Amino acid sequence: MDVTYSLFAGALVTLLLLVLTRLSFIIRKVHVGVTWCADIKYLRSLPSPPKRWIFGHALELGPTESSIRFYQKCHKEFPKYCVYWIGPIVAEVRTADVETMRRLMLQPENPKPPAYGFLHKWIGDGLLTTSGAKWRRHRKMLTPAFHFDILKQYIPVYNEVSHKLVEVWSGLADSGESVEITEYLHSYTLDVLLRCMYSSNSNCLEKKDGMDYLKAVKQLTDLFMARVYPSNPLHLIDWIYFNTTAGHQFLHYSDVVHKFSEGVIVQRREELLKTSKPAKKYVDFLDILLSAKDENGEGLTDTEIREEVDTFMFEGHDTTASGLSWVLYCLAMYKQHQEMCRKEIREVLAGRDYITWENLSKLSYTTMCIKESLRLYPPVPYIAKELSEEIILDGQRIPKGTWIALGIITMHHDPLVWDNAEEFDPTRFNAENSKKRDPFAYLPFSAGPRNCIGQHFAMDEIRVTVAHILNKFHLEVDKKHNVERYAVAILSARTGIKVKLSLV
Ligand code: HEM
């Protein structure tokens, strides 16, 4: 009886799974407006790691350390590309091959795949998610916001907020207890971003401004990831997803984020009403958004401005917090390099407590250590494209409409590209070694026309912050705390990063 029952239950579950996965195919077709035309039968003939019946690779894929290692292992076996199956009929091509990365990154016409659309209710159709003519228009209008003359003005902000961070951490130093640094660094980078981009008088570190925003962003990135690798394929379709508990949560947290960004815009409008000459010291991103005009003299609409504020608020703080966290983790791990950075920083500072714009180019060893940390721990571990045209990879046709994930983290750990790939070796980034390397082998900020618009902003901020921290503290990792990578949209540490701080 028991056996009959188990067999019957097994058959029922299998049938249900089959129906659901078949449905997911139809749903995806509907979801992307019938543009998804990758030929399933054909994709089955392409190289793919051994897969499970029905599930394909679904159980191996995801954000965890074991998935990151799984991609690495498969890349070793299939160095050009391979196909992963989420269930029996949903396929994704993945590559971490330098040549293929170059080809795909130099083609801005490849749109972002539908998974980026899952971010729509949150960041709308801003620079990160949009494609085609809208992307070209916005990119051109927003590029002046990242000109060196504008970035220079932000140096006092990086110094001021770094002083605050050092002050807060001074109260926690020398206690013998380790400090979980990633939460502080999220508040820190949000504060910097709000001040630089929106001239806000925020105080996220001491007054905990923006806490609701930060919590909402954390929830939203988790919910996004759960939708990219869904336990229920029905969640791929918007009108079903937004009627589930997860969908309601996504809408709720998006609302929290929107209220926060509206607050920032309202604060600026009120300031402008109070006085025609606001007390700000510099031209910020919001000024540029509000005044930008395209070649026809048209500005951005209110909705477009809101979408860009939401996009930059997220992209500008979460990525940099991740980058900074991993840089400090690496320096705490590799103390000889920490000492060399400190020596350089102290020489540059010469007794002052302020990093100038001119000082940045003198922090060459520190910059090499930052670049090496971004290699081992790229804050954006994977990006994806949808093929707008068929391409040939390794002699095989990859059909138009196929989704291709580009494994930045996988390539950064590839022993075919990097000697002793797992070793922390900043000299990889000295002038001589950098010259020898293929520029597409190192892509923390992506490359080509859709590269990161904020990369210089981020690098300047990280350099100033690291200089202040190492000038004040010795860092040591908490060996009792296990650090595990977790690749949601941004690379984080699953249970945070704990560091012991002692005053220099
Ligand atoms: C360490 C920090 C950062 C890293 C590692 C990083 C990395 C990246 C990567 C890999 C992309 C390509 C994403 C894709 O194609 O899907 C990207 C795009 C982008 N980043 Fe960053 N980013 C950082 C900081 C920033 C900052 C500070 C800002 C803004 C202030 C910013 C704004 C953007 C925007 C708007 C895009 C979309 C650009 C486009 O498609 O034209 N990022 N970033």
pLDDT bucket at 10, cuts 50 / 70 / 90:
low
Residue whose CA is closest, atom 9 of ligand 1?
Answer: 445
Average pLDDT score, the chain: 89
**Alpha carbon separation from 134 to 33, 109, 125, 140, 304 (Å, rounded):** 19, 12, 9, 10, 10
The whole-number average pLDDT for the span 155-181 is 95
Cα-to-centroid distance, 204 and ligand 1 (Å): 22
Asked whether residue 27 carries a pLDDT value surpassing 60, the answer given is no
Q: Best substitution site from 140, 319, 330 to test ligand 1's pocket, by max atoms within 8 Å of Cβ?
A: 319
Inter-residue contact 159 to 190 (CB < 8 Å): no
Q: Looking at residue 52, what DSSP letter applies?
A: B
The SS3 of residue 390 is coil
Residue whose CA is closest, atom 15 of ligand 1?
Answer: 383
The whole-number average pLDDT for the span 240-262 is 94
**Strand spans (E) along 163-244:** 179-180
* Secondary structure in 3-state letters for 250-289: HHHHHHHHHHHHHHHHHHHHHHHHHCCCCCCCCCCHHHHH
pLDDT bucket at 86, cuts 50 / 70 / 90:
confident
For residue range 382-424, what is the model confidence (pLDDT) as tens digits?
999 988 889 999 999 998 888 899 999 999 999 999 999 999 9
Asked whether residue 29 carries a pLDDT value surpassing 80, the answer given is no
Tokens of 69: 């290692």
Q: What sections of 202-244 are H helices per DSSP?
A: 211-228, 238-241
Domains of the chain in start order, with CATH, are 2-503 (1.10.630.10)
Residue whose CA is closest, atom 31 of ligand 1?
Answer: 454
For residue range 175-211, what is the model confidence (pLDDT) as tens digits?
889 999 999 999 999 999 999 998 888 889 988 888 9
Which of 132, 105, 120 minimizes the C-alpha distance to 404?
105
Cα-to-centroid distance, 210 and ligand 1 (Å): 21
CB atoms within 10 A of CB 234: 13
Contacts of 241 (CB under 8 A, 6+ apart): 227, 234, 235, 247, 250
Task: Look at residue 199 in the predicted model and tell me its pLDDT.
Answer: 86
- Residues in contact with ligand 1 by the CB-under-6-Å rule are 127-128, 139, 311-312, 315-316, 319-320, 323, 379-380, 383, 444-446, 450, 452-454, 457-458
